Chains A and B, each alone.
Chain A
Amino acid sequence: MEEKTKPKLAVWKFASCDGCQLTLLNCEDELLSIADKIQIAYFPEATRAEIEGPYDLSLVEGSVTTPHDKERIQKIRKESKFLISIGACATAGGIQALRNFKDVDEFTSIVYASPEYIDTLKTSTPISDHVKVDFELRGCPISPQQLIETINAFLFDRSPRIPSYSVCVECKRRGIPCVMVSQGIPCMGPVTQAGCGSICPFYNRGCYSCFGPKETANPRSLSRQFSEMGYNNDQLVRTYRTFNAQAVEFKKESEYHEK
Chain B
Amino acid sequence: MKSKTINVNYMARVEGEGALHVDIQNGEVTDAKLNIFEPPRYFEALLRGRDFSEAPDITSRICGICPVAYQMSSCHAMEDIMDITIGGPIRELRRLLYCGEWIESHALHVFMLHAPDFLGYQDALQMAKDFPEQVKMGLRLKKIGNDLMTLLGGRSVHPVSAKVGGFYKAPNPKDLDIIVGDLEWAKDASLETVQWVTTLSFPDFEPDYEYVSLCHPEEYPLNEGRIVSNKGLDIPISEYERFFVEEHEKHSTALRSHRIGGGAYLVGPLARYNLNYDKLTKTVQKAAEKAGIAESCNNPYKSIIVRSLELAYACEEALRIIREYKKPDQPAVEIIPRAGRGYGCTEAPRGILYHRYDIDEEGKILDGKIVPPTSQNQLMIENDLRDYVQQHLDADDDELQWKCEQIVRNYDPCISCSVHFLNLKLNRK
Contact = CB atoms under 8 A, between A and B. Distances in A.
A, B from the same assembly: yes
Interface of A: 13-20, 22-23, 25-26, 28-29, 31-32, 35, 40, 44-49, 65-66, 69, 94-96, 98-99, 102, 104, 106-108, 110-114, 117-118, 120, 124, 140-141, 196-197, 199-200, 202-205, 208, 210, 238, 242-243
A127 to B, nearest CB: 14
Given A108-B42, A141-B157, A205 B64 contact: no
A69 B67 CA distance: 25
19 contacts: A14-B39, A16-B64, A18-B15, A18-B414, A23-B157, A32-B125, A32-B136, A35-B125, A47-B123, A48-B122, A49-B123, A99-B45, A106-B45, A113-B247, A117-B248, A120-B40, A196-B155, A203-B154, A203-B160
B83 to A, nearest CB: 25
Interface of B: 10-17, 38-46, 48, 50-51, 54, 57-58, 61-65, 67, 108, 112, 122-126, 128, 135-136, 139-140, 142-143, 146, 153-158, 160-161, 163, 167-169, 247-250, 252-253, 255, 331, 405, 414, 416, 420
Contacts of A65: 39-41
B42 A32 contact: no
Nearest to A110: B45
Given A17-B61, A94-B61, A210-B158, 4 more contacts: A28-B143, A32-B139, A49-B126, A65-B41
Contacts of B42: 96, 98-99, 104, 107-108, 110-111
Contacts of B122: 47-49
Nearest to B331: A204
B40 A32 contact: no
B168 A13 contact: no
Given A19-B64, A32-B125, A66-B39, A107 B157 contact: no
A199 B160 contact: yes
Contact of A48 (B13, B43, B249): B13
Contacts of B62: 17
A140 B61 contact: yes
A242 B126 CA distance: 39
Contacts of B67: 17, 19
Given A47-B122, A114-B248, A22 B40 contact: no
List 8 A-B pairs, minimum CB-CB distance, nearest first: A19-B64, A199-B154, A47-B123, A49-B122, A107-B45, A141-B157, A28-B143, A19-B157
A32 B255 CA distance: 37
Given A47-B123, A141-B64, A199 B155 contact: yes
B107 to A, nearest CB: 9
A203 B57 contact: no
A164 to B, nearest CB: 20
A151 to B, nearest CB: 15
A110 B48 contact: yes
A22 B154 contact: no
Contacts of A141: 64, 155, 157-158
A48 B123 contact: yes
Contact of A118 (B51, B253, B416): B253
A112 B416 CA distance: 16
